Copies of this chain bind each other. A is one copy, B any other.
Amino acid sequence: MRDTRDKILDASLALFSIKGFLGATTKEIAKKAGVAELTLFRHFSSKERLFEEMIASHSFLPALKGLLPELKDLSYRDALVQIAGGFLNRLSERRDLIKIMHSEIHLYPAKVKEIQQNLVGEIVKTLASYFRGMQEGGLLKEFDPELGARAFLGMFFQYFTNQEFVVEKKQKFENRDAVIREYVNIFVFGTEAGKSNNGSGSTDGVR
């Protein structure tokens, strides 16, 4: 069957993310996939190749890219809220892969870099080009667009990993939107006093 392979790939993703490459056994993966262990080896010549093909099969398409056009209709602030939300959603979807990425850097630095590149690098470029456009329109200050994008996404990436991997599983995302608003506010207006806007605003329009 065609989907035997997929069942194995899915099971391996789940178990690798929970127990790591060395911690997950082929017997266990096969069991989780509802398949004989031998079948696993008939599809993938070794555990290592299973790992590689699993990674490759989950190597993802450029997302968040088609999102750029519709940002034109939003205020700068709301656009960032939108981007942050989309980014966090994307990270949630890929949480297993991100966990593996964190755990297995020492085993597969190249593969991991590739994931990181696909996962973050792409959206960094997208966001940077958005910033560049806004700067050319005189709507933003002068700052390095790529660095700015990394700073912005870095805040949220760090928030995500902290929530996913460190914080107790209770009340997850309870304060997600509040965090997004606060972070976006800081990014847009800064923190130093002596200017018009302040944080506890009501410029809503999203959510």
A interface residues (Cβ-Cβ under 8 A, vs B)? 18-20, 22-23, 76-77, 99, 102-107, 112-113, 116, 131, 138-144, 147-148, 150-151, 153-159, 162, 165-166, 179, 182-183, 185-193, 195, 197-200
Contacts and interface: CB of A to CB of B under 8 A. Distances in A.
Given A113-B166, A182-B148, A191 B22 contact: no
B151 A186 contact: yes
A25 B125 CA distance: 41
A166 B112 contact: yes
Contacts of A76: 192
Nearest to A156: B154
A82 to B, nearest CB: 16
Contacts of A165: 105, 112
A21 to B, nearest CB: 8
A154 B159 CA distance: 7
